[in-house]
Amino acid sequence: MKVGVPRALLYHRYGRFWEEFLAGLGAEVVVSRRTDKVLLQQGLSHVSGEICLPIKIMAGHIEELGGKIDVLFLPRLLWLEDRLYACPKMIGIVDIARMMFDGRLPICAPNIRGSFWWPHFRAGMELCHDPVRVVRALTRARRYIPAHDRAPDFPAGEKRVALLGHFYNLDDDFISRPMVDTLTGHGYRICTKDELPEKVLRNRQGFARKIRWVYERELYNAFRFLVDKVSGVCIIVSMGCGPDSLVAEFMREEAQQRDIPFLQLVIDEHSGTAGIVTRIEAFLELSERRHAGRSKIQDSRLQIGGQAAAA
């Protein structure tokens, strides 16, 4: 049996887990090809123009898989622990997929409510009818759910910039390539939220407690964690992303208070590479200048202090 997994949205985090799990059930796993312009165009014809870019891409991937598979494996993330909800569009994409195929293609969509175990067990039973095998496949695949225990090192003297955004935007080369290339090309190390330990991302202190979207809380916590370790914060927001439009506003305010350069890049299917590169370069120059300016000010302060002490 050929089971299709679209290479978009949640795949970028749980893809390895799903691939191992489905392979363990004895299914042949078909993953759609990497995002490109053709896939995006396919997606555009299936969803309304107002929906955000990752969902359009997802629709393209689903369409692409359509003829090649027997079952589409498309888990629906409703909420994770602590009742943190996924974004409405992520919940709705399964229904959109169902309406796209109109019953021509069976869709296996475990509803993830808090725990991964039970919905995946039921989905496995749907696909292979052998409880022992399903449990074994799940146990083996489990270690591929990404989790970091330790925070990465932040050595002094290194040029760092935080590139914050949803993992499905950053891990998709089609979307993030120009940004990553420009930043690394200028000798910056990129800090993202996905290399941070669970403990930091799930932090419940302060305003983070009030954010009820799971990935927004991660973003905000990552921002709080990284903001004093980097020389600038660049966040990527897809046009029409509801949660981001709110949380980014809070981040901007905090960055302003701490006097850290903050760049908000809004992307959609029309955003050209040139515009993004120019903005990032300007942003890097600004952060470098501010960095230099700040140390100069600090130096002069030291001198004044020194003179005062000498006097």
Partner 1 sequence: MKASFPNLGYDTYALKTFLEDLGAEVILPPPNSRRTIEFGSLHSPELICMPYKITLGNMLEALELGADTLFMAAGARKCRFGYYHYLHERALRDLGKECRFIPVTQYSPFDFVFKVMPGIFDVSPFRVMRAVTKMLAKSRLTQEFRQHLNRKMAIDFGGAEQAKPKALAVIERAHTLKEIQAARGEVLRIFNLNGTEPQIRLGLVGEIYFMIEQFASQEIEKELGKMGAEVVFERSLYRHIRHLLFSDPAFTRSGRLAHRYLQESPGGEAIRTVGEAVYFQRQGLDGVVHIFPFTCMPENIALEALQKLSEETGLPVLSLSFDEHTSRTGLLTRLEAFVDLVKRRKLGRRLHRN
Tell me: does residue 96 bind partner 1 (CB under 8 A): yes
Structure tokens at 89: 């569009």
d(CA 121, CA 125): 6
Q: Contact at 8 Å (CB) between 21 and 137? A: yes
Identify residues 115-174 at the interface with partner 1 (CB under 8 A). Answer: none
User: Looking at 29-37, 43-51, 188-196, 219-227, which segment touches partner 1 (CB under 8 A)?
Assistant: 43-51
Residue 94 or 141: which CB sits closer to partner 1? Answer: 94
Smallest CA-to-CA distance from 22 within 104, 116, 123 is with: 123
Q: Other C-beta atoms within 10 Å of 305: how many?
A: 10
Residue 112 or 222: which CB sits closer to partner 1? Answer: 112
- What is the closest distance, in whole angstroms, from the C-beta atom of residue 284 to partner 1 in the complex? 23
Q: Which of 2, 129, 210, 258 binds partner 1 (CB under 8 A)?
A: 210
Tell me: does residue 111 bind partner 1 (CB under 8 A): yes
Q: Other C-beta atoms within 10 Å of 225: how many?
A: 18
User: Looking at 35-43, 78-86, 197-205, 300-308, which segment touches partner 1 (CB under 8 A)?
Assistant: 78-86
Q: Contact at 8 Å (CB) between 126 and 108? A: yes
Amino acid occupying residue 164: L
The radius of gyration of the chain from alpha carbons, rounded to an integer in Å, stands at 22
Q: Contact at 8 Å (CB) between 82 and 201? A: no
Q: Which of 92, 106, 146, 197 binds partner 1 (CB under 8 A)?
A: 92
d(CA 159, CA 182): 14
Residue 33 or 210: which CB sits closer to partner 1? Answer: 210
Distances (CA, A) of 212 to 29, 149, 204, 262: 33, 23, 11, 24
Q: Which of 213, 225, 262, 283 binds partner 1 (CB under 8 A)?
A: 213
Kindly tell me the sign of the dihedral angle through the C-alpha atoms of 115, 117, 118, 123.
Answer: positive
Look at strands 76-80 and 84-85 and give their pairing: antiparallel
Tell me: does residue 91 bind partner 1 (CB under 8 A): yes
Q: Which of 95, 181, 268, 285 binds partner 1 (CB under 8 A)?
A: 95
Tell me: does residue 239 bind partner 1 (CB under 8 A): yes
Residue 92 or 197: which CB sits closer to partner 1? Answer: 92
d(CA 174, CA 159): 25
Q: Other C-beta atoms within 10 Å of 178: how many?
A: 20
Residue 95 or 198: which CB sits closer to partner 1? Answer: 95
- What is the closest distance, in whole angstroms, from the C-beta atom of residue 63 to partner 1 in the complex? 14
Residue 118 or 207: which CB sits closer to partner 1? Answer: 207
Tell me: does residue 99 bind partner 1 (CB under 8 A): yes
Identify residues 240-279 at the interface with partner 1 (CB under 8 A). Answer: 240-246, 248-250, 253, 266
In the complex, which residues of this chain contact partner 1 (CB under 8 A)?
Answer: 47-48, 50-51, 76, 78, 85-89, 91-92, 94-96, 98-99, 111, 207, 210-213, 237, 239-246, 248-250, 253, 266
